[in-house]
Amino acid sequence: MRPRGAHALVATALPVLAVCALAPPLTGCGHEAGLESAGRVPAAVGPVRLWPDLPPATNPPIDYGETDTERVPGITVPHNDVHTVDPVAVVQAEVRAHAEERSGPDGMYEETVRAIEACGTDRARCPILTPYYRDLTGNGRDELIVGIRMPEQQVGVRVYLAENGTLTRIMSTTDQVVSVELAGRDLIMRVSSAGIPGYEYRTAWSWDEQQRSMLPARDEIVRVKPPGSGASVVPPPAFVSPSATPTPAPVPVPPEAGP
């Protein structure tokens, strides 16, 4: 129901009276009868269901994130402390377990697979970025965040949770990343949108207790340049924290094998 003019007058007058009561005597607030109505207040519009006669879906939706979690084979985590594991060894273990995967959460380019396997002897060309650590699940312990450079300016981002002495991957996604940011317990990915010049996608990945995985809880398209300014250049991916700065840890390099 649309409120009457008297209601709008009261709602408008109260803030004005409060300002007048606090204003110095010399500034003035007009004469007593100087209050004016702002007019009718727009009525609140609630959601309206469209096509209410459509039958509900017969098949229940698939639990999102169910296939994105996986135990990393052969990796043990002393005291459930992810700082004790070698990120390179973690990614190598996953690659070896899914050597033929070219799509999905375990998908890798062949050249990326070869470069990952050579990380122990060719650190300069190793595509695994400096790892970061942050408590994303709220369990009081850090999770391991790993980035993997891939061809065509794509970056794979993976998050690992330590539980019961083992390591579980709770997030895996690959995209043409502009940057990856940590804000509180959210991991925010900014992704270039080649199809819409001047815009980018931003996805906030958050821990979901029911699924026991990181899910894309908020997704939006954001304008980053005015129309006509041309497509933005995608800079090298970087980990950024707008709140507390996460501390990267050096990746241990396995000693070279002797002759």
**Are 137 and 17 members of one domain?**
no
| Nearest partner of 79 among 2, 153, 130, 141, judged by Cα | 141
> Is 110 in the same domain as 225?
yes
Q: Is 251 inside a domain boundary?
A: no
Task: With a cut of 90, say whether residue 14 has pLDDT above it.
Answer: no
**pLDDT over 50 at 9, yes or no:** no
Task: Name residues whose C-beta falls within 8 Å of residue 63's C-beta, 6 or more positions apart in sequence.
Answer: 211
* 12 and 114 in a common domain: no
pLDDT at 224: 84
Residues 199 and 98 in one domain: yes
CB contact at 8 A, 71 and 63:
no
**Residue pLDDT, tens place only, 89-127:** 999 999 999 887 777 888 889 999 999 999 988 888 999
| Candidate from 32-41, 60-69, 170-179, 180-189 with smallest mean pLDDT | 60-69
Cα-flanking dihedrals φ and ψ of residue 112, to 5°?
Answer: -70, -40
- Residue 97 and residue 210 share a domain: yes
Instruction: Examine the domain organization and report whether 139 and 231 are in the same domain.
Output: yes
Answer whether residue 178 shows pLDDT above 80: yes
Same domain, 154 and 224: yes
pLDDT at 237: 43
184 in any annotated domain = yes
Q: Look at strands 70-76 and 213-223 and give their pairing.
A: unpaired
Whether 138 and 72 map to the same domain: the answer is yes
Considering only residues 53 and 10, tell me which one the structure prediction assigns the higher pLDDT: 53
Domain assignment of residue 196, yes or no: yes
Residue 172 inside a domain? The answer is yes
Is residue 56 in some structural domain? no
pLDDT in tens, 194-249: 678 888 999 999 999 988 999 999 999 888 866 555 544 444 444 444 434 454 55
Q: What pLDDT score was predicted for residue 60?
A: 64
Counting residues of the chain whose pLDDT is more than 70, the rounded percentage is 69
Q: Is there a single domain that holds both residue 130 and residue 18? A: no
How do residues 54-97 score in pLDDT, each as one tens digit? 888 787 665 554 456 899 999 999 999 999 999 999 999 999 99
Domain count, the chain: 2
Three-state DSSP at 77 gives coil
Q: How many residues comprise the chain?
A: 259
Q: Tell me, yes or no, whether 155 lies in a domain.
A: yes
pLDDT for 194: 64
pLDDT at residue 164 is higher than 80: yes
Does a structural domain hold residue 252? Answer: no
Alpha-carbon distance values, 256 to 119, 128, 231, 253 (Å): 11, 18, 44, 9
User: Is residue 42 situated within a structural domain?
Assistant: no
How distant, in Å, are the alpha carbons of 16, 35, 36, 38, 226 from that of 3? 20, 19, 17, 13, 40
The gap from C-alpha 90 to its chain's centroid, in whole angstroms, comes to: 22
Structural domain including 114 reads 67-240
Among the ranges given (41-45, 122-126, 181-185), the one the predictor scored with the smallest mean pLDDT: 41-45
The reported pLDDT for the residue numbered 228 is 56
Q: Is the pLDDT assigned to residue 133 strictly greater than 70?
A: yes
Q: Helices (DSSP H) in the chain: which residue ranges?
A: 5-22, 87-97, 110-117
Same-domain pairing of 105 and 19: no
Residues 132 and 197 in one domain: yes
Residues 13 and 112 in one domain: no
pTM: 0.68
